[in-house]
Amino acid sequence: DRYFPADSFDAVLSVSVFEHLMMPWAVIPQINHVLRSGGIALISSHQPLGMHDMPWDFWRFSDTAWDALFNRHTGFEIIERGMDGEHFILPFLLRDNKMDAEKAAGYESSAVLVRKIGPCAMHWALTPGDINATMYPEGVEPGPA
């Protein structure tokens, strides 16, 4: 109840945020907390997009990565998932020892639509401040503990 009481919202939307979360798994219990039972969340993030907003650019997500975050243990079911914006990654420097490397396509974005089905059984005690003294975005002061 630090920012919002339990069961405050019918929906949560997050676009291009999860790659900047030092501990995205620590956010899932909070999403569960603020969603009403049956509420939905749409989370969209990058897949192999270039690094940006350093040093707060941590993760890339495939369409199957969402299972690690949204599952029965965290109180969610996945309704739909997908990736969009197919593309190839080209290196700045092409080296002979990489000529036979995997030639699979990547995707610009990955998204998941989930429904809250119960309480979250997971808890994460650490905060980003326990590990890193910087804030994102730069210049933002941390809120009260």
pLDDT, tens digit, 9 for 90 and up, residues 11-21: 999 999 999 89
**Do the domain assignments include residue 85?**
yes
pLDDT, tens digit, 9 for 90 and up, residues 49-98: 677 777 778 889 999 999 999 999 999 999 999 999 888 777 777 788 77
Tally the domains of the chain.
1
CATH of the domain at 38: 3.40.50.150
Amino acid 90: pLDDT: 73
**Do the domain assignments include residue 131?**
no
* Percentages of the chain per state (helix, strand, coil), in multiples of 5: 15, 30, 55
- Residue range of the domain that includes 106: 9-124
pLDDT, tens digit, 9 for 90 and up, residues 24-50: 999 999 999 999 999 999 999 988 767
Q: Which parts of the chain are beta strand (E)?
A: 9-15, 35-46, 76-87, 106-116
**Do the domain assignments include residue 20?**
yes
